[in-house]
Amino acid sequence: MLFQALFVSLLCLLWHGQGLKIPPRDLNSAVEPRDSLEGLVTWDKYSMTIRGERLFIFSGEFHPWRLPSPGLWLDIFQKIKALGFNAVSFYTYWGLVEGTQGKVRFDGVFALDEFFKAAAEAGIYLIARPGPYINAETAFGGYPGWTARIKAPLRGDDPEFVNTTELYASVVGKLIADAQITKGGPVIMLQPENEYDTWPDIINSNFPAQVNGNYMEHVKQQFKNAGIVVPQMVNDHLYQGNWAPGSGLGETEIYGIDAYPLRYDCAHPDVWPKIRWPENWQNLHEQYSPNTPFFVAEFQGGSGTGFGSVNADACNALVNEESVRVLWKNNYGFGIKLFNVYMTYGGTNWGNLGYKGGDTSYDYGAAIKENRHIWREKYSEEKLQANFFKVSPAYLTAVAGNSSNGSYVSTDQIATTPVFGTKSRTNFYIVRHADWTSTDTTKYKLIVPTSAGNLSIPQLGGDLVLSRRDSKVHVTDYDVGGINLVYSTAEIFTWAKDASGKKTLILYGGAAEVHEFAFDLKNSTASAQISPDDTKVKTKKIRSNILVTQWEVSPDRKILKLGDDLEVILLWRNDAYNYWVTELPAAAPIGNYSSPSKSTVIVKGPYLVRTAAIDGEILRLTGDINSTTDIELIYEPTGKVHTLVFNGKALDAEQNKDGKLAARLDFQPPEIAYPDFASLEFGYIDSLPELQSDYDDSAWPVGANPTTNNPQALLTPTSLYASDYGFHSGSLIYRGHFTANGNESILFLNLTGGNGFGYSLWVNDTYISSWDGTGGGSTHNDTISLTSHTFEAGQPYVLTLLMDHMGQDEEAPGTDLIKAPMGIINFDLAGHAQSDVTWKLTGNLGGEAYRDLARGPRNEGALFAERQGYHQPSPPDQEWTIMNPISIDIHGPGVSFLTTKFTLDVPPGYDVPMSFVFKNTTAGANHRVQLFVNGWQFGKYVANLGPQTVFPVPEGILNHNGENTFALTIWSLDKKRFRFDGLTLEAEMPLWSGYRKPWQAPQPAWQEREGAY
């Protein structure tokens, strides 16, 4: 500790000696000794070791704050664990927990304790990524809005900025430190900062590169001072060795990269951009970080959407199961041993937390859908691959060779990358089309060295084939519990060995493919047993001890038995999707965490298997079904199981023709009464009273700041930037007061509101103009004629401008332009100097002193109903007008607020994701709708832009067994009258489920707000 203090003191002196500004560290803070990590998390150039066992760290990205129902976090963890993954990477969002500077609130849905607890229960290790910058398609890249007002550049070393991070870093650092593996928790790694290589740009920066190193070092030390001892990692998306071990000041312990090879053009999902093909990564890793495992800290698991684009299913079509086969297997060719998929569950940009380019959905086309369904082929493909590496320890010390066209195969249309075993004789050969975007069908032979000699495979005739965008992992001399699999062109899903020594191996292939494998039966007299009439399987013994088997893949399962020692199950890939490999719990401290030494069970049939436990002769399973399903026990380690229990229900199980214990799970869809919104009474009020002649805005903030710290210079006498007055999300309203002189013919406006924003303008109570957001730009200039309104000289008038705030940008490489202001940037009223107009403005009530602490700083905007809190449960609607937005026309332009109540009663045992669905609206009227459920803003529907019309709301926000308050703000941007053609609450594939029913997230009811205007 003395050496550490001297070193840090010396480092600080060196920094200040260079004229830099990093403040000195607090050397009296309690820091957990680093030697407490010994034996828990270690690594070498091959792979990571947890508690003395090498693991392939297979991680899925999941952000708890995008699912603000903590009772559902375990559900997501279990679905990620069911993939065969063993870790989750997560960001924390500074801007949500320190919306008011100096008050960090990790409580309610923003608390992390339940997240850590659920991860531990599911057996998921955690990679913590607290930022402070996170990007993540969040508004302002995750920074609090108030940081837009500081003059110092963000992510630099100026104390004005650095000091703002200290409180957040200490609080979140302590929470993460207490959840480390050293203290019995799930956290095994931490990332300080995020993608800190292009902002500020190391090459073309406004700041010298050394300053970046000082800042990076400072962030690292912040978390170490908080007690974090697990290894710190980096994700360098320039692949230049930035912050790699040995790179100098700011270096981390584990070097990672991130990549999105398919980019983000979901509108053209069949187009794969060749220029993004990842190659030679293993050589770059060897150059930059030769003593750490190859780590892809973010790899594309989907893509985002935005207003006016396409929906999330199109992003799933872009980053689909074919991309998982080709791109992921290409990564394995680099010898990757730590792999994080961004996103694996995306969630929702509820409450305006997203950046300017996104819409409400953050489904991301991820393997687990926004509504928590796993009904995507991509999920199943990921499951096949992750489970393969759980039973392939030879890969964990294997090293990558170089890829080349035509090597190890019979045609240069195929590229092969070998991965060579170093501590075993197992080799892995990853094959793909030389043109990785090809959709051709290409025949080839595999030509590889094996323990049985150099072989051209298939040996029993025919060819191997790659169809469309596909890739294969062929193995040679692969150990199956002591039996040598000389080679296999079919891919391995999993294998297991029971207490008696019997092995079960599952192989799979694509439809109609021919595959071949061979076992070395030395010291064994076993021969293959197959159905005598199965012409699609043939076997042949060569060289006296090598048994070669070839089969043509078909939907019918085939079981090959080699004596009593080995059972080989041959599957069509789509059938393999129905198989689940589920770990059995182990003694502490392993518990439910993954371990190479743990036993598993293999089950076929259900929609999902969550957990498994053996109690004597009973196998207890939890999981989900969505239809009547046959369940089959393929393997269990004890040989004693005779009874199956699923979700607590004992099944009538018996041996089937293949000798497997099987039963039928009956599914009955739940009977649920859904609200008929067309017949419900909604309480209605006008939510734009600012247009009334007697409206009093004396309590409104005045846009009187004569200067700004924003890097964008003022074009007006005083700042009209919303952030300068503490308004950072939702809608904005400006009121410009002036005295007419009769020359007011034109108004010029330069507005910035984010992609697809809109505005409406009134003079007093007269509607003048709107912009509907078409074109999607963040900034819009308009020259508006005012000749339709008569101005009487000497009389006071008010311009009322309502505009959307779609969220700040998420990044601004090389500059501080992320602070780009929102609101009125410039204006010109004909016949007037700018100083003739006095502007007032508002956003959410209180701005940074936001009133709804439970739902956070971004949940509300400027509309009257939001400022009053009427969107919350139990508003004072007793005297409001009764109307219905489906059966009664909405009069535009203006803003309507409507609220109603309904109850739900979902039968126990059912998980029923639900979504609010908007149908098309009559007459094409332009309107924007916010959807509130029990006070939580869970949807922004822009009718003329789309694409989103379906808005999932998770249980816990939506009360599935009780009363719900449903509210809408409806902003009509033109004079057309309209009504909703349909607005419904719909179930999305009910499940009989072993999930744990979530509790309700905090839902504070309406209370009169002091100072509300």
List residues with catalytic annotation. Answer: 195, 298
Distance separating the N- and C-terminal Cα atoms of the chain: 56
Instruction: Tell me the three-class secondary structure of 856-890, residue by residue.
Output: CCCCCCCCHHHHHCCCCCCCCCCCCEEECCCCCCE
* CA dist., res. 773 & res. 759, Å (int): 8
With contact defined as beta carbons under 8 Å apart, do 958 and 350 qualify? no
With contact defined as beta carbons under 8 Å apart, do 145 and 848 qualify? yes
* CA dist., res. 1004 & res. 1013, Å (int): 20
839 in helix, strand or coil? strand
Token pair, residue 465, equals 């084939």
With contact defined as beta carbons under 8 Å apart, do 414 and 430 qualify? no
185 in helix, strand or coil? coil
Token pair, residue 526, equals 């076993």
Instruction: Tell me the three-class secondary structure of 477-542, residue by residue.
Output: EEEECCEEEEEECCEEEEEEECCCCCEEEEEEECCCCEEEEEEECCCCCCCEECCCCCCCEEEEEE
H or E segment and range at residue 624: strand 618-625
Cis, bond preceding 132 (omega within 30 deg of 0): yes
Amino acid type, 735: R
Token pair, residue 967, equals 């509210």
Q: What DSSP character marks residue 3? A: H
Q: What DSSP character marks residue 6? A: H
With contact defined as beta carbons under 8 Å apart, do 141 and 813 qualify? no
Sequence-distant (≥ 6) Cβ neighbours of residue 114 within 8 angstroms: 70, 71, 73
* CA dist., res. 789 & res. 768, Å (int): 8
Find residue 600's DSSP bridge partners: 583
Q: What is the CA radius of gyration of the chain?
A: 31
Side-chain half-sphere of 717: how many Cα atoms within 13 Å?
A: 12
Sequence-distant (≥ 6) Cβ neighbours of residue 593 within 8 angstroms: 50, 86, 123, 124, 125, 186
Q: Which strands, in side-by-side order, build the sheet including 881-883?
A: 881-883, 682-686, 894-905, 961-972, 927-933, 936-942
Q: Rounded to the nearest 5°, which phi and psi values hold at 699?
A: -85, -5
Q: What DSSP character marks residue 138? A: B
The owner of tokens 């203090």 is 5
With contact defined as beta carbons under 8 Å apart, do 379 and 368 qualify? yes
* CA dist., res. 193 & res. 235, Å (int): 9
CB under 8 A, 24+ apart: contacts of 620-625? 620/645, 621/582, 621/645, 621/646, 621/647, 621/994, 622/646, 622/647, 622/994, 623/580, 623/647, 623/993, 623/994, 624/911, 624/991, 624/992, 624/993, 624/994, 624/995, 625/665, 625/667, 625/991, 625/992
Token pair, residue 396, equals 């964990």
* CA dist., res. 711 & res. 206, Å (int): 13
